[in-house]
Amino acid sequence: MQLPTPDEHNNVSLSKFESMLKTNNILFFDADEFEEIINHYLENGKIALAKKATKLGLQQHPSSTTLKLFQVEMFIFENELDIADLLLNELYQIEQSNEEIYIQKANILSRRDQHNQAIVLLKKALDITLEQGEVLSLIGMEYLFLEDYENAKDYFIRCLKDQKNEIHTDYSALYNVIYCFEYLEQNQEAINYLNVFLNHNPYSEVAWHQIGKQYSILKQYKKALASFDFAIISDDRFIGAYLEKGKVLEKMKRYEEAIECFIITLGLDDPTSFALLRIGACYEKINNDEMALQYYTKCVEQDGLLDKGWIAITDFHYKKKDYKKALYFIDKAINIDSENVLYWKRYAKINKKLQWFEEAEIGYRKALEYGNYEQNTWLTRCDILIKLGEFEGAIHNLNQAAEFYPDSAEIEFRLAGLYYDTYKEDIGAFHLRNALDIEPEFLLILEEIFPHILEKTSVKEIINNHKKTTL
């Protein structure tokens, strides 16, 4: 007679349990069966059924520590931390050598942002557990919460080693190790570690992918390409490797090859807006405008909320001097991210090209409101306000700019012209002298924007006196 496999046994238990729920007949299960059933529901995100199985399990096996720990896990999941803590304290009195009790108590402390205390308990669990990898990973996560990346990195590296000191595959821990290396800007150290990892796992597509990304950060593009090729050899359906290889080829200006890589990803899974965007960008760089626009359009059709897609189309039309189309598409991007200063500056530039100065002024004002304090933004807005005849607004704008750039001749000459034009000649003279002291060559600003001011006798005297004093 052939005995059932563990999976078959689990399926039988599960079917029996679900049949019981439908009929309301109470059937008996041993504690191990309940553990398998609860694990199944937890792994599949069926929390309500896991709770029901835990409750029935404890009714039939009230002294089962494992089932009580499942109950604790449910309470923690529902953020009933005080109840979970009380249950753990009771279990601790019975079983002080059960590492799961320490792990769950650490889980509660972690949720309360008491990460140092959680680490203390996890280290106790580490001393008694036979499954050290899981606990090492949990300690690493607590150090991540504390932003202690050196310690986090060390524990994730330990997690990736088994008791024989051989590195084994745990991709969540591997990703965390690399995250720590990158945060610490230890890219070469990350490469050294990944080479050791690959000595033990030569066909790990994830490790090859990660080492390629490190080489890319260091601008060692040939080595990066070789690494991504090895990732693809290890798994020829690994989309991430094709995408990264395409990005490197694009940086190397090998645009046709980059397009090939990005196109491969479209056939492996549903097209990603990122790949479509990069294909469009590559076509644009080889001056294939028709294909570029085709892929940019596909990109925004794929993901209408990808503002970078709308920006790519905006810039495409701006370069073609089709400003009305560019304006239509920048509006799409602004609707998605209305606080992006770069989008508002594009909006302003496009409207300025169309000579729609009121809208252009709004764009520059929005850019300033959202923190773009570049001098050119203040100056361009000022010049537009002058065109609109809003001299007081222009003066207020420049006085704000002067707080950021107190020694700017470009600001001072404009203020001088504006104050003269608003019949505040004493203030205008003050700013004119300041401007001449800072950089007299910028007098051409007055010549371009306020040529009539130079005809004033008082202005001529100030300029002549400054020339005499600097001879």
68 vs 222, more confident: 222
Tell me the DSSP string of 167-222: B---HHHHHHHHHHHHHTT-HHHHHHHHHHHHHH-TT-HHHHHHHHHHHHHTT-HH
> What average pLDDT does the segment 120-145 reach?
93
48-52, 101-105, 249-253, 254-258: segment of lowest average pLDDT = 48-52
Token pair in block for residue 128: 């008694």
What's the pLDDT tens digit per position in 5-41? 444 445 677 777 777 777 777 777 777 787 788 878 7
56-60, 188-192, 291-295: segment of lowest average pLDDT = 56-60
In terms of phi and psi (left: phi > 0; alpha: psi -120 to 50; beta: otherwise), the region of 144 is alpha
What's the pLDDT tens digit per position in 388-434? 999 999 999 999 999 999 999 999 999 999 999 999 999 999 999 99
In terms of phi and psi (left: phi > 0; alpha: psi -120 to 50; beta: otherwise), the region of 235 is beta
What SS3 state is found at 456?
Answer: coil
Residue 166, pLDDT score = 55
* Whether the Cβ atoms of residue 282 and residue 247 lie closer than 8 Å to each other: no
From the list 271, 270, 346, the residue with the least C-alpha distance to 308 is 346
Helix axes 65-77, 81-94, angle to 10 degrees: 160
Residue 167, pLDDT score = 59
> What average pLDDT does the segment 225-252 reach?
96
In whole angstroms, give the CA distance from residue 55 to residue 74: 11
> Which strand (E) or helix (H) includes residue 293?
helix 289-302
Q: What is the mean pLDDT of the chain?
A: 90
Residue 436, pLDDT score = 94
What's the pLDDT tens digit per position in 88-105? 888 888 888 888 889 989
In terms of phi and psi (left: phi > 0; alpha: psi -120 to 50; beta: otherwise), the region of 347 is alpha
Give residue for tokens 């753990």.
88
Residue 227, pLDDT score = 97
Domain ranges of the chain: 373-471
* Whether the Cβ atoms of residue 363 and residue 377 lie closer than 8 Å to each other: no
Residue 84's pLDDT band (boundaries 50, 70, 90)? confident
* Domain 373-471 falls under CATH 1.25.40.10: yes
Does pLDDT of 208 surpass 80? yes
> Which strand (E) or helix (H) includes residue 113?
none
161 vs 349, more confident: 349
> What average pLDDT does the segment 182-199 reach?
95
In whole angstroms, give the CA distance from residue 99 to residue 124: 8
